[in-house]
Structure 1
Amino acid sequence: MCILLVLVLLALCRPVQGTGDTCETCGHRPMDYDSDKSRVVGGRDAQPGTWPWIVSIQSPWQAGTGHVCGGTLIRPQWVLTAAHYFIEARNIEAWRVVAGATQLSHLGPEAQVRNIKRLLVHDQYNNISQSNDIALLELDQPVQCNIYVQLACVPQPSLKVSQLTTCYVGGWGATAEGALASNDMLQEAQVLLIDTHICNGSGWYRGAIHQHNLCAGYPQGGIDTCQGDSGGPLVCRDPRAERFWLVGVTSWGRGCARVRRSGVYVSTRHFFNWILEQTELQPAERPAPTPAEVQPAERPVPTPAETDNATPSPFPYQKLVAFFKLMRELLQYPWAGKS
């Protein structure tokens, strides 16, 4: 029994090998860097694997690396992005999506490249008001999840986004307003969610913000997304779990990092049902099932095991899985000296 207890303790303390090899969960960062140490006063280079759900969407007619805009993996074969970059897009099957990348000019063995099979733009998108600026890309082949490629968690409408205080944006867009070229290295920045009533008020956007938008940045400016970052993720850490929620899709803004001109994002929870309907992962007439009601084979969107009222587990999910696997192996071991 003492040997058994020692082995159990070792299993809980040792690093879990091969975590993130499946796409059954979402919002995890296997290469989890300490977010408190990555707080920024401006955009900076992201470390490999920091944001494993972000992708670069590239056109064969774009100069340089071909980067046009960003996107977010929400299923192995589906990317969520902004609609406005695809209004005049041609030969979409020739475009490509790059997952697992940090530096676009040197992708490295961890990068996965896929072509686009299908583009689905929201049927109520308005390119003048930028309302419903959201689109889906179906890939020709699913990605393989690993420590560099993971899925983001799309929140249900009940998520209280205002309670999430640690949020980040990222992308390969321009690092200065008016810059002609995208950035080669993935950039990251911490931002604050700004109350939409403030963001929509006098001296800010004066009524241009829709009910399905979010604002993020800083009132004084200085940190923001820019051209080429559109379609990329705005993610927030859930303080009760080791996960991130994809709360927004980068949409638009006036200039970059201007005072009282924060970035404007599409709130993903408002489009949860639309996403399920368009991807045919769930019939439109059925309400979204709870995690307990969904069988693994029919899970519409990877969702966290924790509910809104959950408390953090004392051990990370992956280590608990490793623990139970080890226990199963130990119980099957032919112990000698049985009394």
Structure 2
Amino acid sequence: MALLGLLVLLALAGPLGATWDTCRGTCGLRPMAFDHSSVVAEYSQNNDYESLESSDGSSQDTGGSEVHPGAWPGVISVQATWENGTWHMCSGALIHPQWVLTVAHCFARAGDISRWEVVIGATDLSQPGPEAQLRHIQRLLVHQYYDEPTARNNIALLELDQPVECSDYIQLGCVPDSSLAVPKLKTCYIAGWRATPDSAPSPRLVLQEAKVRLIDVQLCNSSRWYGGAVHPQDLCAGYPRGGIDTCQGDIGGPLVCKDNVGDYFWLVGLASWGKGCAGAKRPGVFTATQHFHTWIQVQMGLLPPEADAPPPEPFLSPEEEPEADLEDEENPNPEDSEDYTKVSFQQQILGKFLNLLLELLQFLKGEKA
């Protein structure tokens, strides 16, 4: 009966990132964050989104502002050590005490990843501070269908050599499953590493944030925007007139949105690509983590490999080829969704429980006879 109880608890487990005891069973929290009625929020809500420029005319921080320690406790820096020093290569998000989610493009020509490491809990990479933790990469898992030229399936997982201890400065990101209506989330932010203006000649990289809006993917894919280059597994975020955007050094950085009801944030995207920085009709393109929820669980060993197998596609003759139905894209068959898998598993557990209960009753009847 104890084993059955454990199985029932597993069946009723919450979304990815919400069940690990080492981080108190939470994700998406920001214990050190202040209220975001800041210059960033005010600037991003006005009608003038022209690119910010420094006195010499160069692009300056694409609209971000420096954050205080612990403001974004799930953002990490992936770094590589070469002959000339250790350098920030890309960003990512901690989603489990021993797993980091980032983009595959970061490792396209990485070579030996034994030289690579992950910094968690820092906001200034030149002075990480005592709250930061350093881990080496034990294993790199790039999506099996990642295509570098088109950035399709641009996602990867890093298994760390040791689990991370959660604190006010280190928290897990929440990866949404198919039940979350991501386009309806209104309050979203990007975060990335920038060199401060006074850091030359040795760059001082600090974490910066900017408030953004989710942009309809169909608009983002229109002829005057990205002309069909955005995939269904992507998100667009920024502003139509530009001014605030991800840029170099932000690859793999998180796009997070506050839940419309709860006081926590969803990790909805990872900075994947874009044309230029902060240009009009050229918002940042992000890998939508929601579309890879099952893949993530399979790679981390939380689901069997067959759970991520694509369903067989029926052969259609040219006469039978259906036209694209936008409504079907937004409302997939519930039997193909994450929620259907969870319900099926709970039904299996309930069936096992009833069978065991019947066996117990038959055993008690036999004892009384």
What's the TM-score, normalizing by structure 2?
Answer: 0.69
Deviations 1:189-247 (A, max 9, x none): 00000000100002100000000000000111110001111111000000200110000
2:46 paired with 1:25:
no
**Higher Cα Rg: structure 1 or 2?**
2
Task: State the alpha-carbon separation in 2 of the partners of residues 186 and 139 from structure 1.
Answer: 22
Q: What is aligned with 1:190?
A: 211
Cα distance between partner residues in 1 of 2:82 and 2:151: 25
Q: Distance in 1 between matches of 2:268 and 2:294?
A: 14
What does residue 79 of structure 2 align with? 58
Query: Aligned residues: percent identity?
Result: 54
Do 1:167 and 1:236's aligned partners in 2 also have CA atoms closer than 8 Å?
A: yes
1:253 corresponds to: 274
Q: Is the 8 A contact 2:186 2:257 kept in 1?
A: yes
| Counterpart position of 1:98 | 119
The CA distance in 2 between the partners of 1:183 and 1:207, in whole Å, is 37
Q: Give distance in 2, aligned partners of 1:241 and 1:60.
A: 40
Q: Of 25, 43, 48, which aligns to 2:69?
A: 48
Query: 1:158/1:46 Cα in 2 relative to 1: closer, same or farther (>3 Å)?
Result: same
Render the CA deviation track for 1:282-319: whole Å, top value 9, x for unaligned: 224566547x96xxxxxxxxxxxxxxxxxxxxxxxxxx
In structure 2, what is the Cα distance between the partners aligned to 1:51 and 1:221? 24
Relative to structure 1, the CA distance from residue 283 to residue 117 in structure 2 (aligned partners, 3 Å threshold; closer, same or farther) is: same
- For the residue of structure 1 that corresponds to 2:137, the secondary structure is strand
1:121 Cα deviation (Å)?
A: 0.4
Matches within 5 A, 1:29-178: 29-37=30-38, 39=41, 41=43, 42-61=63-82, 66-173=87-194
**1:116 shift after superposition:** 0.3
Asked if 1 retains the 8 angstrom alpha-carbon contact of 2:194 and 2:206, the reply is no
Please report how far the alpha carbon of residue 45 of structure 1 lies from its aligned counterpart in structure 2 after TM superposition.
0.1
What is the deviation of 1:146?
0.3
Instruction: Answer whether contact 1:69 1:173 (CA < 8 A) is retained.
Output: no
Match of 2:224 in 1: 203
Aligned residues: 271
Measure how far apart 1:65 and its partner are: 5.0
Flag the 1:211–1:58 CA change in 2: closer, same or farther, 3 A. Answer: same
Distance 2:203 2:254 in 1: 17
Higher helix proportion, which one? 2
1:246 to 1:207, Cα distance in 2 relative to 1, 3 A: same
TM-fit CA distance, 1:50: 0.7
Give the Å deviation of 1:159. 1.1
SS in 1 for 2:81: coil
Asked if structure 2 preserves the Cα contact closer than 8 Å seen for 1:276 and 1:284, the reply is no
**Are 1:274 and 2:308 matched, yes or no?**
no
Q: Which runs of 5+ in 2 are unaligned?
A: 1-20, 44-62, 308-337, 347-369
- Which residue identity lines up with residue 227 of structure 1 in the other structure? Q
Cα distance in 2 between the residues matched to 1:82 and 1:62: 25
CA distance in 1, matches of 2:168, 2:302: 25
The alpha carbon displacement at 1:25 in A equals 0.6
1:183/1:260 CA distance change after superposition, 3 Å: farther
The secondary structure found in structure 1 opposite 2:82 is coil
CA distance in 1, matches of 2:83, 2:255: 25
Distance 2:83 2:127 in 1: 17
Q: Is the 8 A contact 2:195 2:206 kept in 1?
A: no
Asked if structure 2 preserves the Cα contact closer than 8 Å seen for 1:27 and 1:150, the reply is yes
Structure 1 contact 71–81 (Cα < 8 Å) conserved: yes
8 Å CA contact 1:23, 1:151 repeated in 2: no
CA distance in structure 2 between the aligned counterparts of 1:121 and 1:240, rounded to whole angstroms: 34
Deviation of 1:35 (Å): 2.0
- CA RMSD after TM alignment: 2.4
Q: Is the 8 A contact 1:165 1:236 kept in 2?
A: yes
Q: Distance in 2 between matches of 1:152 and 1:225?
A: 19
